[in-house]
Structure 1
Amino acid sequence: MNATARTSARGAPRSLTGLLPFLRPYRARIALAGLFLVLAALATLAFPLALRNLVDGGLSHADKGAQALALRNHFGALFAVAVALGVFSAARFYMVSWLGERVTADLRNAVYAHVLRQSPEFFETTQTGEVLSRLTTDTTLVQTVVGSSLSMGLRNTVMGVGALAMLVWTNPYVMSVVLLAVVLVVLPTLWIGRRVRRLSRDSQDRVADSSAIAAEVLNAVPVVQSYTAEARESARFWQATDNAFQTAVKRSRARALLVAFIIVANTALLLWGLYRGTEAVLAGQMTAGHLGQTVVYVILLAGAVAVLGEVYGDLLRAAGATERLMELLASTSPVADPAAPQELPLSGRGLEVEFDRVSFHYPSRPETAALHDFSLRLAPGETVALVGASGAGKTTVFQLLQRFYDVDGGAAGGAIRLNGVDVRQLPLAALRAHTGTVPQDAVIFSASALDNIRYGRPQASDEDVVAAARAAFAHDFLQALPEGYSTFLGERGVRLSGGQRQRIAIARAMLKDPPLLLLDEATSALDAESERMVQAALDSAMQRHTGRRTTLVIAHRLATVQNADRIVVLEHGRVVEEGTHTALLARGGVYARLAALQFTA
């Protein structure tokens, strides 16, 4: 957390104002909840008045019949107050609980949708586990405040102010001392509360650390187990949770001090008021009913202050949570839709792709150029393969082409164009809608095989899905699953082999049927027989389009790209060779050396 955030974390709970945009759509419900809140508080404040009338009016009649009738009326009034209190309190509870659940759901949806729009640069510095912690733990704290604590705070504020007003009206002298005592309670409460809030923010950060570790390790359990690192990872997680525990203990200690101070101070205030009232009754300056009323108002005031102290602690924790959520919502992606977007001109001849003197540095590695003065042109319908050692810049070409990153700023960074239009002038959705990708590590969602393939085109019919699966040679094994295409594939496709996952990813891209196809070592997980089948399917897919499909292939296994129209060899982000397989072999350069190593092996 940077210095600015730390400074903000020590202030008042003004960070909760970040929730205002999420509350505004429900102004009518908030107003209704506020009305029920005030009515419930007024019903509570009416109780001491009814009690005073009962003591002074219902017990003062000499006539037993009149006394019984008066008692019946006064107890009826007390019961009516209790009914009103119950009804208004229940209505208030329902309204604020609804608001808490609704605002929390809206907040989660907004944060999740915002994170999904971030470029990969965001995830270079933010762990997935931390984002999940903010979506769960932090929003739960916000829900507690909006759906409960804030309502209780407002209700007790109204009750406290009302009790204070009644005490001032009925006992001006007593209240002059009570007001002084309240000030003496509030000032230390604010001082202790600042430390509670800072520790609350720190505690939430430590919980996020442990969540990040758990998310990372649970996604790599086979690797952890293969290296017998279970004990090490358990120890690392234990250290993270222990850090969270230690910070939480400090927060709880500070909050316990706050609670103890409020209880002691309020008890002293209550006893003092009771003592002074008893003296007044003995001196004949106050009736017993008046004393009872005063005592109840003092109890209400003391209770309101005590509850406000508890609520203040909850507000401090929620303020820290809100800060963390607002930080996520305030993050802006460096890759965004242009202010004046252009349309991508399409024709039956397909897409022309041009890299014009492109240079690029990853934000996390600004000193090393991933691409330098890189130029490449793909004619419509052409298949071009990118080869080279790891780190040569092949994947970077794919990421820039899909605008996961933008080329380096200024004219020196060059430009990437589709049919002559700079990709930075195209809407992101339109650009990516015309691109299909088959990654090296196939991504399978926790859904059925049908839904996984249809992810490429959600409106596709079942027949279209089956056709794409047949083209990717996935139909046979999908039919053999327990429920066929409706079989749930498990998290990350754990019920499938690597080759089966890869063929589903290929079917997904085929179903999308884009004019630009990006294949990142798409047959890397296949056995020799499957590779031949899928390679034939990919060759067919390169032509299965309404126009001519332009294809860009990343290949480490040179045997898969021998038939490409052109092979481009990269080294350290630069093009060093270019030509057909036969021509490059005859040249005897970098490609020939790579081919000699692979084909000889």
Structure 2
Amino acid sequence: MPYKFSITALLFVLVNVGMAWQLWLVGKIIHDVQTGKMISRAADGSLDLSLAKYWLVLMVVVAIGRSVVQYLGGVMSLIIGQQLLYILRERIMLQVQRLDLAYHWQHGMGEIVTRTTRDADKVRDALINFWRQVFEASLWVLVSVGLLSWYHSWLGLGTLFFTLSGISIFVLQTNKLVELDRVVGSAYDKVNQELSEGVNGVRVIKSFGLEQQRIAVFTTSVQDFIDHARTALAFASSRIPLPQIVVAMSHVWILVIGALLVQQGHLNVGELVSSLLVANTLVFRIEGIGRVMQVFADARSSAARIWELLDEDPKIFSGEKTIAEGALGLRLSKVSVKTPGSDNTILHDCDFEVSPGEVVAIVGTTGSGKSTLAGLLPRLLDVDGGKVLIGSAWAGWQNLKDLKLDTLRKKVHVVPQETFLFSDTLEANLKLAQPSASHEDLLEAIELASATEVLEKISDGLQTKIGDRGITLSGGQRQRISLARAFLAKPSILVLDDATSALDAITERRVLENIRKLRSTVGQQITVVLIASKLSTILLADRVAMLHQGKIVAEGTHDNLVANNAEYRDLVGVEHGK
């Protein structure tokens, strides 16, 4: 915002020039009073007050003008501050949406919330409050040294020496304040993380009677934050007065040297008083820098944390190719995936293929990589080795990395087990998948997801506010609403990551039968991948693939696997011949 910053800077220049003018007028008035020029007696014996009235009017005009300009400068500072905060938070939000899941796994929600709120506020305060204090103090140093030097060079040089000495001490102390605030920021991250987990996990906490334990953990985090904050504040409080004392020595200098100059006739009393008032204002301005020095140190640390987030390069980039029309299947060719930030392998040389229109269930033990595999298909995650392809054997295969992300994610839709619904109306949540959907389209999707009874039970139908994360609905109801949202999108490939785990077997079968009838936006049958843990889900698939130690180790129908694979029988909990 260079234009607004320039106007604000000009207003501050005028404010400080006005202040210097006021103090010069005070010295001039005192000198005129001392020499008897202020009030004189006319030839007719009456008192001549014209000069006194002139100085009085001029003082009032300058004071009012400076107050108006200072008010306008303050308003402009507030406007710039709010716009700056908006820009910072908007950029952080855009960056958070750009970054892939791997980044979010490595950095908790509390850390991102801290950078968006506390850190952004501190940067705003520094760029506005600290900038204003430093800018005005720098202006006043120039103005005051100039005015004092105009009175006498020794007054200006001495004041300049003490001022620069005090500011140098300020600067030397800043790095330590930054280090301390980094520690405070990390402690604040933990407080935010504990708070978000305590709110989001309230059901689990209450179910296991963990209220006191979680309160104790949160209290420990808060106390740790308080201790670090107190340490930083104690350092600032004990160090900042020293440079203020050094700057305040300019008072003594002006008083001593000024008195000598008055005695020698090089300076009048009015100029001495004016010089002392200038030095007094200078001390207050430097003290203002001292008060915001902690803000500046905090902001340097906060800015570094924000820039770390904004400078983080997304690991997933959009390709340029469009997806070929027609039915879509998928193929994994020698795919390898590692845990973000470590060398732990999740998938290793994994080969897997699903034909267009096929319904395939993927089973495996906990931690075998099923959800990771599901995240690869819409490129929420990227492979470390190998290729993920979509297409068909007859129409050809396309590498996901070559495709446009927005069109890919419209064609490939993943419904996770832990559904997420926004704190909005039911209609708004459904229309996330298809903003142009009609009322009839919404009702059809709800019916396909066997969620009609959900709609009938809630108070205001599609306009019902469903609360934060869908808290007003049961787990099964949330899953059905999420399924309806996915059906509304009409994807070509639908991945259900245990997305029917909260449904009874009858509802689950009905939903899958409805899925088999679905057609994508181009009228082709939808390919369905079921990440399954329930036997009832597995039985609904055309084919089953078993994932073990990062690889597909067995494929076939449920009956064939039961007959020929002991590991599969143990996994699904059936005996041979049943």
TM-score by length of 1: 0.89
Pairing of 1:182-201 with structure 2 (within 5 A): 182-201=163-182
Tell me how far 1:166 sits from its aligned partner: 0.8
Mind listing any 5+ residue stretches in structure 2 that lack a counterpart?
A: 392-396
Query: Aligned partners of 2:577, 2:198: CA distance in 1, in Å?
Result: 39
> 1:472 aligned to 411, 427, 449, which one?
449
Residue in 2 that maps onto 1:523: 500
Aligned AA (2:367): G
Residue 597 of structure 1 aligns to a residue in which SS?
A: coil
Deviations 1:96-116 (A, max 9, x none): 211111011111110121012
Tell me how far 1:466 sits from its aligned partner: 2.1
Residue in 2 that maps onto 1:437: 414
> 1:581 aligned to 558, 564, 574, which one?
558
Query: Aligned partners of 1:34, 1:63: CA distance in 2, in Å?
Result: 46
Cα distance, 1:543–1:310 mapped onto 2, change above 3 Å: closer
Pairing of 1:213-362 with structure 2 (within 5 A): 213-281=194-262, 284-338=265-319, 341-347=320-326, 350-362=327-339
Residue in 1 that maps onto 2:463: 486
Q: Quick check: 2:492–2:521 contact (8 Å CA) kept in 1?
A: no
Residue in 1 that maps onto 2:426: 449
Query: Aligned partners of 2:300, 2:341: CA distance in 1, in Å?
Result: 31
Residue in 2 that maps onto 1:421: 398
Query: Aligned partners of 1:188, 1:593: CA distance in 2, in Å?
Result: 72
Q: Quick check: 1:542–1:550 contact (8 Å CA) kept in 2?
A: no
Instruction: Note if 1:380 corresponds to 2:380.
Output: no
Moved more, 320-329 or 245-254: 245-254
Cα distance, 1:540–1:521 mapped onto 2, change above 3 Å: farther
Residue 89 of structure 1 aligns to a residue in which SS?
A: helix
Q: Quick check: 1:98–1:147 contact (8 Å CA) kept in 2?
A: no
Query: Aligned partners of 2:453, 2:195: CA distance in 1, in Å?
Result: 37
Q: Quick check: 1:542–1:549 contact (8 Å CA) kept in 2?
A: yes
Deviations 1:227-271 (A, max 9, x none): 222222222222222221111112111211233224433333224
Residue 94 of structure 1 aligns to a residue in which SS?
A: helix
Tell me how far 1:355 sits from its aligned partner: 1.2
Deviations 1:293-348 (A, max 9, x none): 2122222222222223333332222111111100111112222224xx2221112x
Pairing of 1:492-507 with structure 2 (within 5 A): 492-507=469-484
Mind listing any 5+ residue stretches in structure 1 that lack a counterpart?
A: 1-25
> 2:124 aligned to 139, 143, 146, which one?
143
Instruction: Note if 1:56 corresponds to 2:35.
Output: no
Residue in 1 that maps onto 2:9: 34
Residue 190 of structure 2 aligns to a residue in which SS?
A: helix
Query: Aligned partners of 1:266, 1:366: CA distance in 2, in Å?
Result: 57
Tell me how far 1:137 sits from its aligned partner: 0.5
Moved more, 551-560 or 278-287: 278-287
Aligned AA (1:427): K
Deviations 1:455-493 (A, max 9, x none): 212232333222211221223322331222111111111
Residue in 1 that maps onto 2:515: 538
Cα distance, 1:197–1:583 mapped onto 2, change above 3 Å: closer
Query: Aligned partners of 1:244, 1:528: CA distance in 2, in Å?
Result: 49
Residue 334 of structure 2 aligns to a residue in which SS?
A: strand
Cα distance, 1:85–1:549 mapped onto 2, change above 3 Å: same
How many percent of aligned residue pairs carry the same amino acid? 25
For the aligned residues, what is the CA RMSD? 2.3
Residue 414 of structure 1 aligns to a residue in which SS?
A: strand
Residue in 2 that maps onto 1:566: 543
Cα distance, 1:272–1:600 mapped onto 2, change above 3 Å: farther
Q: Quick check: 2:361–2:543 contact (8 Å CA) kept in 1?
A: yes
> 2:18 aligned to 25, 43, 50, which one?
43
Q: Quick check: 1:101–1:147 contact (8 Å CA) kept in 2?
A: no
Query: Aligned partners of 2:574, 2:329: CA distance in 1, in Å?
Result: 33
Aligned AA (2:348): H
Residue 524 of structure 1 aligns to a residue in which SS?
A: coil
Tell me how far 1:288 sits from its aligned partner: 2.4
Aligned AA (1:134): R
Aligned AA (1:343): T
Pairing of 1:31-110 with structure 2 (within 5 A): 31-57=6-32, 59-60=36-37, 61-63=39-41, 67-110=48-91
Deviations 1:422-471 (A, max 9, x none): 11111222211211222112211111111111121223233322221122
Moved more, 590-599 or 524-533: 590-599
Pairing of 1:130-169 with structure 2 (within 5 A): 130-169=111-150
Tell me how far 1:279 sits from its aligned partner: 4.7
Residue 379 of structure 2 aligns to a residue in which SS?
A: coil
Aligned residues: 567
Q: Quick check: 2:334–2:349 contact (8 Å CA) kept in 1?
A: yes
Cα distance, 1:598–1:175 mapped onto 2, change above 3 Å: farther
Query: Aligned partners of 1:565, 1:528: CA distance in 2, in Å?
Result: 17
Tell me how far 1:589 sits from its aligned partner: 4.0
Pairing of 1:173-184 with structure 2 (within 5 A): 173-184=154-165
